[in-house]
Amino acid sequence: MRYPIGFTMAQARHRARMEQAGHTRYPTVLMLEPLYTCNLACIGCSVERHTGKLADRMPLETVFKAVDDCGAPIVNICGGEPTLYPELKELIEGLIARDKYIILCTNALKLDTKVYGVIPPSERLFLMVHLDGLRETHDYVCNRKGVFDKAVEMIRKGKELGYYVYLNTTVYKETRVEEVEALCQMVDELRADGILISPGYEYESVTADVFLTREQIHEKFRQIRAFSHRYRINATPLFLEFAAGLRELPCSPWSTVNYTPKGWKAPCYLIEGEGYFDNWEDFWNHTNWEYWESRIDPRCQNCKMHSGFEHSAVTAAMKTLKGTIQLAVWSLRK
Ligand code: SF4
């Protein structure tokens, strides 16, 4: 299967429960940023995410309250670099005790000292290693030599130790489509579990000219879509159609909510269009979801991120029998 059966079923059960209860908007993924500290300063990353002090990280009780308030079955721990969070082991243990599935988004530099031999493999824990191209491109994007080689070594070691390991690739202007296909081939060579591919979001705080225009996104994703059936790409067929400019989708920013050291970020992981909220109820009840779904805001024009659109892609697929069958076949494929 594209993802382990438990992970797929947890999402399906959550969707069915929410819809039976009459909810049209509900979170499925919590993008949890317990710290804004990082050991890299990648050129395409929002500046605040790698300049925070470790002392300003979230205490565990604050994290668990956010997890319980939001109720999403999947917690994507990002940041910052989550392996630098001193309480990572306790955080993961607490999430597993709450029946959550955990995606640990990492640059992999500290996996050997902070995860391997410290936090055991689990069917609920997925390591998501950033690899934004082959050696030259990835090291350029990470602004440091040697990061690519270390990440590949950590992916190989993680698989030997029995972890679920996925690659996470952001496509920038510098990224050649041939490199993306080479990364897909690496998934098989390294016996990794899959690869997530997304176009980079043009953060206002990033001045480097690394982002794709809308037309460039469509062009690159048309080529990626053409070879996608040969590899374990963890983006649904409809999402790839959307990224390739072959269909339109509304945004679902509420499906992937973001909790940060500054509070709940509205509307989404990418922009603070409505600022930060201290508590869940205010965030959930006072964010103008209808406005953000419409994508009329100028900051949404060039956005084709998984976090906003994968839920919409699944919803659109499930509206027709053909789409539902296509989604089921995609989920079941190895
Ligand atoms: S379109 Fe992108 S930037 Fe706009 S609300 Fe959706 S996810 Fe956020």
Q: Which amino acid is present at 308? A: G
- Characterize the bridge pairing of strands 164-171 and 194-199: parallel
Q: Kindly report the pTM of this predicted structure.
A: 0.94
For residue 160, what are the contacts with CB-CB under 8 A and spacing of at least 6?
A: none
Q: What's the confidence (pLDDT) of residue 334?
A: 67
State which of 204, 257, 305, 311 you would mutate to test the pocket of ligand 1, scoring each by most atoms of that ligand within 8 A of its C-beta: 305
- At residue 45's C-alpha, the angle toward residues 29 and 208, to 5°, is 145
- What are the DSSP calls for 231-270, one per residue? S-B-S-HHHHHHHTTSS-----GGGEEEEETTEEEES-SS
Calpha distance 123→118 (Å, rounded): 16
Determine the residue of 291, 301, 303, 309 to mutate for testing ligand 1's pocket, defined as the one with the most ligand atoms within 8 A of the Cβ atom. 303
Token pair 């300063």: residue: 41
In angstroms, the CA 322 to CA 246 distance is 17
User: Sheet containing 125-130: which strands, arranged edge to edge?
Assistant: 194-199, 164-171, 125-130, 101-106, 74-77, 29-32, 256-260, 263-266, 275-277
Q: Where are the alpha helices (DSSP H) in the chain?
A: 5-20, 60-70, 88-97, 111-114, 135-142, 147-160, 177-189, 214-227, 237-243, 280-286, 289-294, 306-317, 321-332
Atom of ligand 1 nearest to the CA of 297: 4
AA identity, residue 185: Q
CATH numbers and ranges of domains, the chain: 5-332 (3.20.20.70)
The pLDDT assigned to 49 comes to: 83
Exposed, middle or buried: residue 59 (CB in 10 Å: 0-12, 13-18, 19+)?
exposed
pLDDT tens, the chain, 334 aa long:
888 899 999 999 999 999 999 999 999 999 999 999 998 888 877 788 888 889 999 999 999 999 999 999 999 999 899 999 999 999 999 999 999 999 999 999 999 999 999 999 999 999 999 999 999 989 998 999 999 999 999 999 999 999 999 999 988 877 889 999 999 999 999 999 999 998 887 766 666 666 778 888 999 999 999 999 999 999 999 999 999 999 999 999 999 999 999 999 999 998 999 999 999 999 999 999 999 999 999 989 889 998 999 999 999 999 999 999 988 888 887 6
- Ligand 1 pocket by Cβ (under 6 Å): 251, 253, 267-268, 270-271, 292, 295, 299-300, 303, 305, 307-308
117: left (phi over 0), alpha (psi -120 to 50) or beta: left
Calculate how far, in angstroms, residue 253's C-alpha sits from the geometric centre of ligand 1.
6
Burial class (CB in 10 A: 0-12, 13-18, 19+), 36: buried
CA-252 nearest atom, ligand 1: 6
Q: Ligand 1 center to residue 203 CA distance, Å?
A: 11
Distance (Å, whole) CA 191 – CA 174 = 26
Q: Are 8 and 28 in contact (CB under 8 A)?
A: no
